[in-house]
């Protein structure tokens, strides 16, 4: 009987935590989807800028604009892309959280 009371208390605690959470399902979906979408768009934009810069560099060297990159440039792209993605991810996470918090402040 004691184990049932412990389970009941845990269920009640989980219910209270869920009811006390100010974020609606739409808020949670926004906080998940917005950073993902922004990260995807920023990643594609970074790749386009990189490809354009590499094309110009290749043309100056007398190569075709879409000539393959060497290992060093591929590693540099991977590192720069990861760093850019991390910054964009952090900023978009904070921004989406700030928008949701602002919405909650306005509704109070």
- pLDDT digits 0-9 by tens, 30-58: 999 999 999 999 999 999 999 999 988 88
Please indicate, yes or no, if residue 5 is contained in any of the structural domains.
no
Least confident stretch, 7-11, 20-24, 60-64, 86-90: 20-24
Q: How many domains does the chain have?
A: 1
Q: Please report whether residue 44 resides in a domain.
A: yes
Q: CA–CA distance from 39 to each of 35, 66, 83 (Å)?
A: 6, 25, 12
Residue 1 placed within a domain: no
Q: Residue 45: what pLDDT?
A: 96
In a domain, 7, yes or no: no
Domain ranges, residue 49: 23-107
Q: What is the percentage of the chain residues whose pLDDT exceeds 70?
A: 100
**Residue 49 located in a structural domain:** yes
Which residues, 6+ apart, have CB-to-CB distance to 77 below 8 Å? 50, 69
Question: What's the pLDDT score for residue 61?
Answer: 86
Residue 4 lies in a domain: no
Helices 71-107 and 25-60 cross at an angle (nearest 10°) of 150
Predicted pLDDT of residue 68: 86
Contacts of 23 (CB under 8 A, 6+ apart): 31, 100
pLDDT of residue 64: 85
pLDDT of residue 62: 85
Q: Quick check: is 12 in a domain?
A: no
DSSP tag of 24: -
| Residue 81 is assigned to a structural domain of this protein | yes
d(CA 3, CA 101): 39
Q: Give the whole-number percent of the chain exceeding pLDDT 90.
A: 52
Q: What's the DSSP call for residue 65?
A: T
């Amino acid at each position: 009987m004691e184990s049932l009371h412990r389970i009941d208390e845990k269920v009640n605690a989980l219910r209270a935590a869920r009811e006390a959470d100010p974020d609606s399902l739409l808020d949670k979906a926004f906080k998940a989807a917005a950073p993902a979408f922004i990260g995807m768009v920023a990643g594609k934009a970074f790749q386009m800028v990189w490809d354009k810069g590499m094309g110009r560099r290749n043309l100056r060297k007398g190569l075709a604009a879409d000539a393959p990159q060497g290992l060093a440039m591929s590693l540099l792209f991977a590192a720069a892309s990861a760093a850019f993605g991390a910054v964009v991810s952090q900023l978009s996470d904070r921004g989406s959280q700030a928008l949701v918090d602002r919405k909650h402040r306005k509704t109070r």
